[in-house]
Amino acid sequence: MLDAAILGAVLASIVAAATTLLLASLGELVAERAGTLNLGVEGMMIVGAAVGYATAYSSGSLLLGTLAAMLAGTALSLVFAVLAVWLATNQVASGLATTILGLGLAGLIGSPFVGTRVDAAPALAIPGLTDLPVIGPALFGQDAFVYASILLLIAVAWGLARTRAGLVLRAVGENHAAAHALGHPVRRIRTLAVMFGGACAGLAGAHLSLAYTPFWASDMTAGRGWIALALVVFSAWRPLWLLGGAYLFGAVSILQLHVQGFGLGIPAQLLSSLPYLATIAALVVISALKHGQGAPASLGVPFVPDR
């Protein structure tokens, strides 16, 4: 049996690994509920990681680094918004182009910082709770990014379900022509949703380079942006289901590392591919069950107002 301390450390690692996915997928969920399919999440994450790390390393402030990462993700999302929302270009092509642009920019920005390190975001201990066996380190001994992701999840779930702004955003995603006929500024709403998604992707990148692995590496996102996209489908565009999906994929990512340490003779390359194989398997199951019927009706459809 696993020692309680070891089990607590494993659970804490799962929570940390899931946080990056949860932050990025929350932003993408809001963008998609507005009807915009943003495949540029990976690029926005890596730019956020690079800018956040460069700012934190240069200024010595993790807070400034985090804010800079969010601004960088938002700035890159505006490039996508101009192309896909205002110029009504193909959203898939625009998103892929944004990812390629982001990867190139991140490599350029981060190249002077290869081999350097910053102090990781500190864990926020909660007296009386952090010392609890097993669940203490996992739930009450995490950094601020983890708690921010939970608060953001609650805010998104409540905002989409309980506020007028959330209702209007969902209406735009379901039928942009009807929303436009009612006087709602469809393109402005979609742009704001995409910007929110970019800020969340930048925040996810900051979590990677300032907390999860406090250094810069050119490929440190390692496809997490694509997994975040799959998680939105996996959750059927429901914020609370997204939480379970993020922690499930976070668990797969962490457990494959521990399996390698058991010396079972399984090739390391196969174990490293488990998170992505799990993503494919989940999407196949969802497709078979027709779980994707919750997709917004106008998702991926450009809106061009009548002239």
Question: pLDDT tens across 49-60, in order?
Answer: 999 999 999 999
What pLDDT sits at residue 12? 84
Convert the chain into a string of H (helix), E (strand) and C (coil). CCCHHHHHHHHHHHHHHHHHHHHHHHHHHHHHHCCCCCCCHHHHHHHHHHHHHHHHHHHCCHHHHHHHHHHHHHHHHHHHHHHHHHCCCCHHHHHHHHHHHHHHHHHHHHHHHCCCECCCCCECCCCCCCCCCCHHHHHHCCEHHHHHHHHHHHHHHHHHHHCHHHHHHHHHHHCHHHHHHCCCCHHHHHHHHHHHHHHHHHHHHHHHHHHHCCECCCCCCCCHHHHHHHHHHHCCCCHHHHHHHHHHHHHHHHHHHHHHCCCCCCCHHHHHCHHHHHHHHHHHHHHHHCHHHHCCCCCCCCCCCCC
pLDDT of 118 strictly over 80: yes
Q: Return the higher-pLDDT residue of 234 and 44.
A: 44
Name the nearest CA neighbour of 36 among 79, 95, 97, 98: 95
Tell me the mean pLDDT in the region 28-42.
97
Given pLDDT bands bounded at 50, 70 and 90, which one contains residue 116? very high
Percent of the chain with pLDDT over 70: 90
Identity of residue 291: H
What pLDDT sits at residue 1? 45
What pLDDT sits at residue 271? 62
What pLDDT sits at residue 288? 66
What pLDDT sits at residue 270? 66
pLDDT of 33 strictly over 90: yes
Tell me the mean pLDDT in the region 12-22.
92
What pLDDT sits at residue 106? 96
Q: Return the higher-pLDDT residue of 5 and 194.
A: 194
CATH says 4-294 is which class?
Answer: mainly alpha
